[in-house]
Amino acid sequence: MVSFIAAGLLLTALSVASIENIPSKHGKAPSSAQDRSLAAASCKCYPGDACWPTATEWSSLNTTVGGRLVATVPLAAACHDDQWARYDNTTCTALQNSWVDPETHYLSSSSVMAPFFANQSCDPFLPESAQCVIGTYIQYAINVTSADDVSAGIQFATKYNIRLVVRNTGHDYNGKSTGSGTLGLWLHHLKGISISDWSDSHYTGKAIKLGAGVQGSEAYEAADAAGLQVVGGECPTVGIAGGYTQGGGHSALASKHGLAADQTLEWEVVTGTGKHLVANRQSNTDLYWALSGGGGGTYGVVLSMTSKAHLDTATSAMNMTIFASDTTQDAYYEAIEYFHSTLPAIVDSGAMAVWIFTNTSFLISPITAPDVPVADLKTYLAPFETKLNELNITFTSYYAQFDSYLNSFNAMFSPIEVSIAQYGGRLIPRSVVENNNTALTQAYRDINNLGGQFIGVGVNVSKAVVGDVYNAVNPGWRDAVIHTVITTPWSFEAPWSEMLANQRLMTNEMLPKLAALTPNGSAYLNEADFRQPDWKSVFYGTNYDDLLAVKNKYDPNHLFYAVTAVGSDHWTVEDDGTGKMCLA
C-alpha cells in the first residue's frame, strides 16, 4: 500500500483527475480513452482493463507457442465453489494432506509455495465459502519448450503491456515467481542434462549442462551415475539453474566447492528484448557475471546453465539432538554458544553444517563432510560433545561414512516442508563468531524467545573454489561463517493480521538484533526478509550499481520484475509485490 501511494504522488504532475483514475485496489479501471492511455503508460494492463487482450488475441499467442499456453486453474479450486469447480471433499482433503510437500506445488503452472503471496485465495484450509479467484496467481503460463516460446511470450507481454514473470519450481520465499495480472514463462519442463569435458583458461575439468527445469535430485542422480558430484540445494526439489544458482546457492558441498554461482561456466539466455544468446567468460561476460549470483528473474530468461562438476568423493556425515528440558536455559544456550565457537574448524575442513533450534530443542541436521573420513569428523565434534558432558546435557548423535555424496545426501537430509513459515535472514561474519560470540548467542536467544525459529547454515565459501571465479555473489558471503535463517510459523487458520504481525516482528524486532552485531552487513537474497530495509546493499553489497547497469542493458524496458530484484524499484507494486504494478 505504501508503495502504491508513492506511485500516486509521483504522478501528481499529470493532474489530479488522472490520478483518481489510476486502477487501484479499491477503485475501478479507467473508462475513457484518454484515461486508458494514461493507465497504459504508467501501469501494467490488468484483466478487466480495456487494454487486456481479447480471447482471440490469447488464442493467437497459444497458436504461436504450439498450443502450450495454459490458463490458470488454481490448484485448490476444488476446496471452494468457484468458476472452475464445485467443492469436492475428497480432492480438497487430499490437497490439505499434501500441501506442505513441494511436489504438490511445483507440478502446477501457477501455485505458490510461500502462503503470504497467495493472499488467501483458493486456500485449501479456509472454508468452502472463502474466496477463490486468480488474484495473485499468474493468469496464464507458457509451458516453455524452446527459446522461441520465450521470445513469443516476451513479445506478447511487451505489445500488450502485461506483467511477465519467470517461473521454475515456485519455491521462492519472497513471491518472486508470481504476481497478479501476469503472464508466466514456465520452465519446469526443460529437463535436459548432459555431461562433458570443459577446458578454457579459467577452468579445466568435468562440466554438466542443465536445462532450466532440472531439479536438485535429478542432477545429483545424473552426476552420481557418472562418478561426479554437483552443487545443488539441500532441498532436492529446488531448481538448480533458476533462482537458486542465480541467487548464489548454498549446499552441503559449499565449504568444499564454493557456492552454486561459483560453479557456472555458461548460461543460455533470452534477454528482455527477446534475443537468444550465450553468456560466458568470452562473450556477454557482463551478463554471465550478473546471472552468477546477482539474483533470479530480472536480467533474462535462462534456458540452460553449464556448471563445473567434481569427481565424487566418499562423504561422512553426522546429526545430533539436544532438548532444553534436560537442563537450564542458561546451560542450554551455553551449549549452543560453544557449538558456534567450534564452527570455524568444522567448516575449514570442507564440511557444511545445518542446525535448527528454538528455546526447547537443538538439532544438527546434518553436518556433511565430503572427502573427510568419519574419524576426523568425530574429532571436529569431540570438543562439543565434551562440553555437553560437562554441562550434564544428554544428547543423541549419529555418525556415518558413505561411499558417495549422493548416498550421504539421501540418508541424511529429510524432506523439507513448505508453506509453513515466513522468513528472514542475515549472514554472520566469522569475526563476529570469533570475537563476539556471547553477544551473538544472546541475540539468538532473544529471537527464540520472541517466537523465532533459527536455522543455521555453517559454511566457508572463501576458499576451495576450483578455477578462478568472476561473479556477482554478495561479497558478504566470503566472510560469513553462518548464514542465519529465522522463521516464524505460518498458520492457515490464524487471522491474517497475526501473520502480518509476525512480519513486523521479523523486520522491526528480530533482524535488527542481528544487524546491530553486523553493521554494514549482508543477507542471502533468496532466504531473507522481503521487507529488508536497505535491501540493495544488504542483498547485493557493493555490486548493486554494476548489476543495475547489466539489467538496463539486457532488459531496457524493465519487462522482468521480481520483489527486491535488481531494478525492481523501477516499479511500485501494491500489496508487497503481488498486486498492481505501476511505474515508480
Ligand X SMILES: *[C@@H]1O[C@H](CO)[C@@H](O)[C@H](O)[C@H]1NC(C)=O
Ligand Y SMILES: Cc1cc2nc3c(=O)[nH]c(=O)nc-3n(C[C@H](O)[C@H](O)[C@H](O)COP(=O)(O)OP(=O)(O)OC[C@H]3O[C@@H](n4cnc5c(N)ncnc54)[C@H](O)[C@@H]3O)c2cc1C
Question: For residue 169, what is the DSSP state?
Answer: S
494 binds ligand X (CB under 6 A): no
Closest CA to 459 of 246, 234, 229, 235: 234
Q: Does the protein bind ligand X through residue 242 (CB under 6 A)? A: no
Stretch that binds ligand X, among 155-163, 307-315, 380-388, 456-464 (CB under 6 A): 456-464
Residue 455: CB minimum distance to ligand Y, A:
10
In whole angstroms, give the CA distance from residue 336 to residue 191. Answer: 42
Beta bridge partners of 458: 353, 482
* Cross-strand bridge partners of residue 271: 300
Binding to ligand X (CB under 6 A) within 125-164 occurs at: 135-136, 143, 145
456 is written with which cell numbers? 543455521
Quick one: which of 6, 501, 516, 549 contacts ligand X (CB under 6 A)?
516
- Cβ distance to ligand Y smaller for residue 49 or 172: 172
Find which of ligand Y, ligand X, none residue 474 binds, CB within 5 to 8 Å per kind: none
CA distances for 241 relative to 66, 114, 208, 251, 417, angstroms:
25, 20, 11, 14, 21
- Please, what is the Cα angle at 22 between 19 and 28, to 5 degrees? 125
524 contacts 250 by C-beta, under 8 angstroms: yes
With binding defined as CB under 6 A, does residue 81 bind ligand X? no
Find the part of the chain contacting ligand X (CB under 6 A) among 76-84, 212-220, 259-267, 513-521: 513-521
Kindly state the smallest distance separating residue 565's Cβ from ligand X, in Å. Answer: 18
| Residue with smaller CB distance to ligand X, 265 or 353 | 353
d(CA 468, CA 415): 34
Which candidate, 196, 205, 199, 319, places its Cα nearest to that of 257? 205
Distance between CA 158 and CA 156 in Å, rounded?
5
Query: Could you tell me how many residues of this chain bind ligand X (CB under 6 A)?
Result: 52
Q: Are 582 and 571 in contact (CB under 8 A)?
A: yes
Does residue 168 bind ligand X (CB under 6 A)? no
Maximal CA-CA distance, the chain: 78
- Which residue in 194, 394, 449, 557 binds ligand X (CB under 6 A)? 449
Query: Binding ligand X by CB under 6 A: which of 16, 67, 197, 495?
Result: 67
Q: Which of 150, 154, 112 is nearest to 134 (CA)?
A: 112
Taking the C-alpha atoms of residue 474 and residue 486, their distance in angstroms, rounded to an integer, is 19
- The span of 34-42, 154-162, 415-423, 514-522 binding ligand X (CB under 6 A) equals 514-522
Judged by CB under 6 A, the chain residues 276 through 295 that form the site for ligand X are none
Q: Give the x-and-dash track for 173-202 against ligand X (CB under 6 A).
A: -------x--------x-------------
Report if residue 319 touches ligand X, rule: CB under 6 A.
Answer: yes
Angle at Cα 259 formed by Cα 256 and Cα 260, nearest 5°?
115
Distance from C-alpha of 216 to C-alpha of 235, rounded to nearest angstrom:
7
Q: Which stretch binds ligand X (CB under 6 A): 34-42, 62-70, 466-474, 554-562?
A: 62-70
398 makes contact with ligand X (CB under 6 A): yes
**Residue whose CB is less far from ligand Y, 85 or 235:** 235
Of the candidate spans 201-209, 294-302, 432-440, 552-560, the one that interacts with ligand X by CB under 6 A turns out to be 432-440
Among 19, 43, 70, 79, binds ligand X (CB under 6 A): 70
CB neighbours (10 Å) of residue 536?
17
Which one-letter DSSP state was computed for residue 416?
A: P
**Sign of the Cα pseudo-torsion (226, 227, 228, 229, in order):** positive
From candidates 69, 301, 427, 499, binder to ligand X by CB under 6 A: 69
Q: Which stretch binds ligand X (CB under 6 A): 76-84, 207-215, 278-286, 443-451?
A: 443-451
Q: Using DSSP bridges, classify how beta strands 315-323 and 361-370 pair: parallel, antiparallel or unpaired.
A: antiparallel
For ligand Y, the binding residues (CB under 6 A) are 102, 113, 165-173, 176-177, 187, 212, 233-235, 238-239, 241-244, 246-247, 249-250, 296-297, 301-302, 416, 418, 526-527, 562
Quote the DSSP letter at residue 190.
Answer: -
Q: What whole-number distance in Å separates Cα of residue 494 and Cα of residue 499?
A: 8
Instruction: Give exposure, 225-257, as e/b (b: 16+ Cβ within 10 Å).
Output: eeebbbbbbbbbbbbbbbbbbbbbbbbbbbbbb
Q: Of these partners, ligand X, ligand Y, none, which one is at the site of residue 579 (CB under 5 to 8 Å by kind)?
A: ligand X
The binding site for ligand X (CB under 6 A) comprises: 25, 62, 67, 69-71, 89, 93, 109, 119-120, 135-136, 143, 145, 180, 189, 319, 321, 329, 344, 347-348, 359, 363, 365, 391-392, 398, 411-412, 430, 435-436, 439, 448-449, 451, 460, 462-463, 475, 479, 481, 516-517, 520, 541-542, 575, 578-579
